[in-house]
Chain A
């Protein structure tokens, strides 16, 4: 599957493919250890992974301002996350709602610094430098297809933030320096 085909496949994906209803789960907060441990690789076709994928999407949907949620954030130490940056003003390329398993960054370029927050670190924000051009590879839950696709701008940032979660890193581990951490001013 080419990057263009992967992009189209991801853009066409929706959680209805999973065939199960998602449940809204509690989001865990730092310093919960599950957020600082690399998640286990998963079988994307396994029933519990399919249910988890639906749960992540359902939890993201009910959380104000949430554009991505990793399994670690609901207390499950596996490498699965969902993303949907469709409504965000900083988004350029968008692929709608999707879930990726065992995702990794294949290529990245054009670093830009921007301020990030996280539902699992609700009281702080921080300036983080991330690539604004990104190619990722991962597997779709349910079918288990491997997809590789390119994106940019805010969706690229969201993907790196979520992949970091699955690797056991918070944005706090990436902040630009000692003066790049801020008390949160506005809670969504």
Chain B
């Protein structure tokens, strides 16, 4: 099998059958879906997937063109390379930030994560009424002073009038 890897993104107004149509197009080309994620953001469909196979980007775009035909979906295909696995030895954490909605919450808080050399591996934000919520999973490098990182995050959150909680990401070893 070819080692060609492609990132496919599908964005636009939600309707039934988008995933079925997308995956059918990829299956016809013999592409294997390796990783994918999909969500609805206030009725807007958003999907990213990585697929691998012996096709080329132009052929994939042609196969998925019917999806975008009525103009309410954007489909993009781009070749990507296999990324190296992240360095091991760090620690995983779950960060929750919530409070009154205002601009700059995400940037201020994640700046503290970046300043500590931390890497955000997953992030969700929600606006529910006046409540703004951020939940992120992040890795901190081995040897990090977690208390200091947490303190910096809390201080940053307090300046914005929101609350931050940093907890270890628990994994049960079975």
Contacts and interface: CB of A to CB of B under 8 A. Distances in A.
Interface of A: 29-31, 36, 111, 121-124, 129, 168-170, 172-181, 183
A30 B133 CA distance: 10
A174 B131 CA distance: 16
A31 B96 contact: no
A172 B126 CA distance: 11
Contacts of B96: 172-175
A175 B126 contact: no
B123 A181 contact: no
A177 B98 contact: no
Interface string B105-147: 0000000000000000011101011111101110000000000
Interface residues of B, number: 26
Interface stretch (B10-18, B79-87, B161-169): B161-169
Main secondary structure of the interface of A (DSSP, over half): mixed
A89 to B, nearest CB: 26
A30 B101 CA distance: 11
Given A29-B131, A31-B131, A175 B94 contact: yes
Interface of B: 94, 96, 98-101, 122-124, 126, 128-133, 135-137, 162-163, 165, 167, 169-170, 172
Contacts of A31: 98-101, 130-132, 162
Contacts of A174: 96, 167
A164 B20 CA distance: 43
Given A31-B131, A172-B133, 8 more contacts: A29-B129, A36-B99, A122-B128, A123-B128, A173-B96, A175-B94, A177-B135, A177-B137
